[in-house]
Amino acid sequence: MRIHQYSVQFADTTFRLTPVDKRRYFWETVQNTPDVFPKPFAVAFDGDAIMFTVDKIELQESKSQFTLVTMIPRGRSEVELQIEFKYVMEVYMNFKLARPMEICDRSMLPIQALDIIMTQGRAADSFFPFRNVAYQIPKGGGTFSLGGGKEVWHGLFTSCHIANAFRPLVNIDVTHAAFFKSQPVLYFMAEVLSTDFRTDFDVNRLDRRSSLNPQELSIFRKNIKGLTVYDTHRGKIRRHTKVRDVVISAANEYFDGENGKLTVAQYFKEKYKELQFPCMPCVVCGSAKKPIILPVEICYIAEKQKSSKKLAPEQTANMIKVLDDVYNFLVSS
């Protein structure tokens, strides 16, 4: 069997794309260009820079490289993202061609292709691929909370190797990781503050005068900084953006409007609707030159965000308890 390898380069230098971003924009481009990719299920992408196809992509004038353009949301508008594809080589899926010294080398192309295909094979709506792990996306409340706005996701780690007689083997292990809950930022704030202060921060008790003290604001800033959120005040139009700072409240944060200075709370009252909690904090997104200030009550934590920070002692204890329950369930069944 023969497959074809391409290099994939996201030609943009204005902002950093994560592997999750690359995977999303890549597959959106594949789906939107059926003339180039008539068989999407015959395409494999590693989420970074390598693509394999069953059939060689036929282009006019037999070009070895081509560029596709897609529009992605960035800040207050959409920007153009160019994805460059370059043909590399034809790959023979013949494991007997591997030399003895290379049997355990993961960089071998047939093994690399198998790794990508095995992970991608579960990358449907029910799974989220992250490197060599496919995490099952919790649905219908089937999650285990760790506290502090995080929950446990279960996944399958796959690793391909060559065994005796050049037989390809797939090693599959169960793994677990902490992900941020996809929920309103107000509820995320409540979980974070309740975990740190051991108090019941109830969103249902908030009113127009509710606010955070400096210590609470510092805790909230530390936990939400770097996360991706999206706004919900414009209906189906949702803008995903990363949080880089937090300010004290919508009622006290001023900016230059068309008719002079006004607060964030005043702007939303005139442009959209009056805020329920104008004294609660705002998240600051966008760039330093063009900041985007959003009240927390209109923001939602984006899904599929894996936690890379060390878990708090209480969260670690909850994780151990969850894994122990899973182990006991597997043993009993």
Q: Which of 105-114, 191-200, 276-285, 293-302 has the lowest mean pLDDT?
A: 105-114
pLDDT tens digits, 243-269? 999 999 999 999 887 778 899 999 999
117-131, 176-190, 306-320: which is most confident:
176-190
Residue 61 DSSP code: G
| pLDDT given at position 105 | 46
pTM of the model: 0.79
pLDDT tens digits, 131-172? 788 898 887 666 788 989 999 998 888 888 777 777 788 888
CATH number of the 183-302 domain: 2.170.260.10
In degrees, to the nearest 5, what angle opens at C-alpha 305 toward C-alphas 273 and 307?
Answer: 125
Q: What is the domain partition of the chain in residue ranges?
A: 1-92, 94-181+307-332, 183-302
Q: Which of 52-61, 215-224, 244-253 has the lowest mean pLDDT?
A: 52-61
| pLDDT given at position 196 | 64
- Residue 243 near residue 283 (C-beta atoms within 8 A): yes
Place 53 in a pLDDT band, splitting at 50, 70 and 90: very high
Is the pLDDT confidence value at 115 over 70?
A: yes
- Edge-to-edge strands of the sheet including 77-92? 43-45, 50-53, 2-11, 77-92, 65-74
Which of 229, 222, 227, 225 shows the shortest CA–CA distance to 196? 222
Residue predicted with more confidence, 108 or 127: 127
